[in-house]
Structure 1
Amino acid sequence: MGMGLFGKLFEKKICSICGGEIGLLGNRRLADGNLCKKCAQKLSPWFDERRESTVAQIDEQLRDRERNLEELRGFSSSREVGNGGRLMIDEAGGRFVVLEDADDDLLAVNPDLVSLAQVERVELEVEHISHEEKRMIDGKKQSYEPPRFLHYFDFWEVITTSHPWAKRIRFRLNGPSLPLHAEGIARRQPHLDAYHEVKAHIELPPAGLLTDLGLNAPVALDYRTRQELDECDRCCEMHALIRSLLDASRADHKN
């Protein structure tokens, strides 16, 4: 039995789409067939249902992707938003594309052209991690008293659509992760789930904490922290702009 399973591992597999032979580690399973790496690379960059898809469905998508590439050659954006990824809107044509990396070549990636009418929801997701900052005492790293934490934030735009291949488009608004050196009270919060919570602690600490620490005013922001907050704020502003642009363009095309 062991040899039988071992033999199947090295059994030649044929791509159900192009008919080419698939290498040992090159198979991408489908619901009812196999897909080679080369054909898989032609799928939508936003498509994540390959394993549940049939050969017929993948074949349909690849034909649609060829048409998409031809349409992209004539695509012209009137508005662009994003630093990490990039949303490109053709307001007159009522459609948009998203590049996961703002520096990517449009035709090389072949992102799906999505109709504004297909947009169902636009959301902002904020991810963050916290690192405790330590100091060297007698050659050893030791915690501050009380502990200090450095926060890093990423702002992700999530567009949910009814497009058959790009149902969930998620791209980063910022470039590299944004650091936030929160001085004073906010710096001591190790597990804050979202940017607005951190900002609330920095700009207006809870009254109880003010009393406990003998303070009678909000924590003063130094220049660096103010600059870092401004960078985070710009991501929130980009999200608001994207929502307004998509909403306005959809409304124009409905009328």
Structure 2
Amino acid sequence: MIDKIAASVADALAGVRDGSTVLIGGFGTAGIPNELIEGLIAQGAKDLTVVNNNAGNGDTGLAALLKTGRVRKIVCSFPRQADSHVFDGLYRSGKIELELVPQGNLAERIRAAGAGIGAFFTPTGYGTELAKGKETREINGRQYVLEHPIHGDVALIKAERGDRWGNLMFRKAARNFGPVMAMGAKMTIASVHEIADLGQLEPEAVVTPGIFVSRIVKIERVATQGGGFKA
């Protein structure tokens, strides 16, 4: 019987190794798998490469992970924001490496890993520092840059609902990078707010099929000050 439900966050994260490349879903603060990040901090894996859309906000979530000093490198599109002081301090002191990737390229590089694509050409970044040292080619009169997939050892993503087979549904913008990261990692761990019985999820509404998911764990929904709930 297939049952991918983990009893706890700690159980879900068992086996994450030092030196892993960890894909972490989220767009700004929407869809960040905070409970899984907190679990990763407690788990203790170090020398990590983290792939995310940004480099953390404030002192929680991804920023808290960076603060532990266990992230060697971050690959992201928007490393600097008004509240990215943790990353700023680490980067300026030479304690973390940064690979800056345009957002569309980031999503496509992760998707390419899941789709088995060896490399692809894109016009984004041509003629800039981001293309330095990379192969370029003219195609139909336009210049392109060769980009390679980003393969993850682990993906940490947040979904709305899931079943024991690992099928996932997402809530609005909290979906963001989750589906492509699930495809691009060897092991995908998803937190969900609801676990449905088999057959309860409408097939047409399943965004990420269970074949791409290794483990799911249920977490409680966190209320905001305004009376709503975090995405």
The structure with the largest helix share of the pair is 1
Q: Bigger relative contact order, structure 1 or 2, given CA contacts below 8 A and separation 6+?
A: 2
TM-score by length of 2: 0.24
